[in-house]
Amino acid sequence: MDSADGLKGRGLDAAERDVIALGIAIAAIILFIGTGGSALPQAVGALLNGGKAPDLFLTNALLLNIALLIFGWRRYNDLRREIRERFAAEQQARELAERDALTGCLNRRSGPAAIEALRQRLATRGQELVVLMIDLDNFKQINDVHGHKVGDLVLSTIGRRLETALPADSVIVRVGGDEFVCAFAGPQNSLEHIDNRVAAMIAQASRPVLTDNTSVEATVSIGITRSDADRADDNDVTPETLIHRADIAMYHAKKQGRNRAHWFAAEMEDELRYRNELEANIRAAVANDEFVPFYEQQVDIGTGELAGFEMLARWDSPRYGMVSPDIFIPVAEEIDLISELSEKLMRKALLDAVDWDASLTLSVNVSPVQLRDPWFAQKLLQLLVETGFPPARLEIEITESCLHENVSTVRSIVTSLKNQGIRIALDDFGTGYSSLSQLRTLPFDRMKIDRSFVSELATDGRGRELVEAIVSLGKSLALPVTAEGVVSNEILSYLQSLGEMKGQGFLYGEPADVKATRALLASLGLLRSSQDEELAFEELPRVSVG
């Protein structure tokens, strides 16, 4: 017998005992009336007049009836107490099933039904239902820095503050780890009233949370939507639909800088649908090997000689055509596919460049996500071994944002790569958070000036002071410089006046696929035979991946 059957059996036994006890009590009352009617008069007469004593059998029967009545009364009281306790237990179980244990808010299971009940009540009064999706900003960081106990305190405190900021007839639901949904009445055509209330909620929730040892800063981002009785397509809207819309708006609030609110708009759903389709297509594209390397020339601006190429990622999609990395790289990073995508591209690029002239370098950009992987250096070195590409001809480009995220891990990876002869460039210098101390302690081999600064050289000379400062810094640190975005002879002439450096940009040609790149190299006599490549590679130190 399983547990459910066992409970059912025990419940049936208890019911049978209750029926038996009730039957005994009724029988005892009937017998008491019968025996008492005979035995009691005899006992009273014997006591008052000295008459004959009552019959012993009747006396025993009367005493037994009295005992049975006492038993029945006690069992009746036990039944009443048991019913009260059972009702209280059922109430507690229902409360536990419907409430979040930490914050006391409704939970995901009971929240939608409560929101729907509120919507129906408001509809009878001609009012709209406003639904908010509230998410704590950087809550994982709070847990990581202060511990989960403090994180729980922050959640419970924010839950109470939100409840305090809401009208009396409102619903608050904890739908996820750090997500809340609030629903309340909003007067029709009164967006300003709703905005003011939401602003007050943000201010209330964002006050520091005091703990025993410290003060924790917590902010929230809020998405707002409402049921509009004037819209035909909202007459049958469900709580789940409203929560979904508020959730979409909340993510737009986060994109705009967090600690703010954003209203839902219909086009957001189209954007989300496109984003979901894009994610699915990127996953399929990685599996189908649709990403291809393009190559942008890097030229010595003084001599005009070709010095190497930077590998740029392109998506040769059957559906979208040739897609720019500005579109798919951020998405690939968010869905954790950038490492696999990048490794496949690097393998292709290393194989493409293995028979270039020994004077030509290959530059490859590395995502900040990849530099969080402590095994990245070993993976890259393994690619060099598999493709036979000389490490001295490879240059890895790291953006300044990588240094800001985890400088100790980056230092370890950079050191491992440098020990194998790979060169390291600091990409997009001037756009991030690097400091002079990081430039001195990290073994960079090159600095790259961001194209946004170089392009300003052609517009009334703006940005010249910054470019000159970067070039001067590079000279003082003995770091060669590469300028991106060389698109005109005017920019080239100015850069030439600053001294030796490399340049890349549309002035030297647009990025090209492997076929066009090999044709260019062949025309310049910069392709080596496989035999020459093999001999040259044997002269280089072997790469160790152990």
More confident site: 167 or 71: 167
Mean pLDDT score of the chain, rounded to an integer?
82
Q: 389: which 2 tokens?
A: 């590409």
* pLDDT bracket for residue 260 (50, 70, 90): very high
Say what the pLDDT of residue 16 is. 60
Q: Domain 275-538 has what CATH class?
A: alpha beta
Say what the pLDDT of residue 431 is. 63
What share of the chain has pLDDT > 90, as a percent?
A: 46
Taking only the tens place, the pLDDT of each residue in 19-28 is: 666 666 666 6
509-516 long-range Cβ contacts below 8 angstroms, 24+ apart: 509/297, 510/296, 511/294, 511/295, 511/296, 511/312, 511/314, 512/294, 512/295, 513/292, 513/293, 513/294, 513/295, 513/314, 514/292, 514/293, 514/295, 514/348, 514/352
CATH architecture of 106-264: 2-Layer Sandwich (3.30)
* pLDDT bracket for residue 463 (50, 70, 90): confident
Say what the pLDDT of residue 542 is. 44
Instruction: Name residue 311's amino acid.
Output: M
Q: 255: which 2 tokens?
A: 């994109």
Q: Is the pTM of this model over 0.75?
A: no
